Structure 1
Amino acid sequence: MDLSTLLSPDCTRCAVQGASKKKLLETISQLAAPKLSGTTRQDVFESLLNRERLGSTGIGLGIAIPHGRLASATQPVAVLLTTSEPIDFDAIDNQPVDIIFALLVPEDQHDDHLQTLAQVAKRMNEQGCCQAMRKAESDQQLYDIFTGQGGDNGSCSL
């Protein structure tokens, strides 16, 4: 799955302030729900929270990839956030998180879900990509960097 088709500029937020893990999951829910017809913010939030209860989606190096499956969703949706200050996300390396890529998929797309998560993890493993995202100064710049439209501001290879 092409990651650039999952993420839209209106689901991208740069330098979110005063965040906690719960607040970030609420922000993700608020941004994603309108993209998922028939799905409420609460549905999205509960899906993400239930997944976090199984184990943190903080994969280390300041990155988290919260994700969930929704019965009412008809297409996958992604949300990309950076935080102004790193926050505790119970990451596997015990380091705070400042880059969050959330993925919500229809419940019946198990294989696609796993493949997409693997692609996201690979992308986030690119040191230059994360450095560029951390330096982004606007929502649009963050979106452009992630989707490979970063120009001189850096970008992630798609």
Structure 2
Amino acid sequence: MDFTLLLSPDCTRHAVAGSSKKKVLELIGQLAAPRLHGVSDFDVFQSILQREQLGSTGIGMGIAIPHGRLATSSKPAAVLLTLDTPIDFDAIDNQPVDIIFALLVPEDQHEQHLQTLAAIAHRLHDKKCLRAMRNAETDLELYQMFIEGSD
């Protein structure tokens, strides 16, 4: 998958001070909304929050993949964050999270949504890629580590 179609350097942040799950989800809204014309920060936040209320998107190993569908969006977008201090995300392994990859997709793209989530999860289970992402020292380096993976 060509992750550059989803993720841009301006939606990638390393060593974010994320004090809580809610604050991180708000930041995701602030970063993603400008890429999704006609969608507000609050729309993004609400979409992800509604999904989180169904069950945590913390998949283990310090990773969360919050995601949501937007009725007013015509294209997908993503936000990638690493946190300076891991936070509680109600992950399935009960471990705190320090890598967050948020995905926003148009409401009508069900199949693409599932395929994209699978590709993201696959990339984030690559231990070499994870190590490089956790060691990134700049936003751009984090972006490049995710885009390039361990290939």
The amino acid of 1:90's aligned partner reads D
The amino acid of 1:44's aligned partner reads V
The answer for unaligned runs of 5 or more in structure 2 is none
Distance 1:18 1:67 in 2: 18
Alignment of 1:124-143 (within 5 A): 124-143=124-143
Secondary structure of 1:100's counterpart equals strand
| Residue 4 (structure 1) shift | 2.4
Contact 1:11 1:80 in 2 (8 A): yes
Secondary structure of 2:82's counterpart equals strand
TM-score by length of 1: 0.93
The amino acid of 2:15's aligned partner reads A
Q: 2:55 aligns to what?
A: 55
Secondary structure of 1:122's counterpart equals helix
Residue identity (%): 67
Distance 2:77 2:26 in 1: 15
| Residue 118 (structure 1) shift | 0.3
Q: 2:3 aligns to what?
A: 3
Distance 1:28 1:19 in 2: 14
The amino acid of 2:118's aligned partner reads A
Task: Give the count of matched residue pairs.
Answer: 151
| Residue 2 (structure 1) shift | 2.1
Distance 1:135 1:19 in 2: 20
Q: 1:84 aligns to what?
A: 84
CA RMSD of aligned residues (A): 1.0
| Residue 3 (structure 1) shift | 1.8
Secondary structure of 2:94's counterpart equals coil
Distance 2:73 2:106 in 1: 5
Secondary structure of 1:49's counterpart equals helix
| Residue 157 (structure 1) shift | 4.0
Contact 1:3 1:116 in 2 (8 A): no
| Residue 18 (structure 1) shift | 4.1
Distance 1:140 1:92 in 2: 30
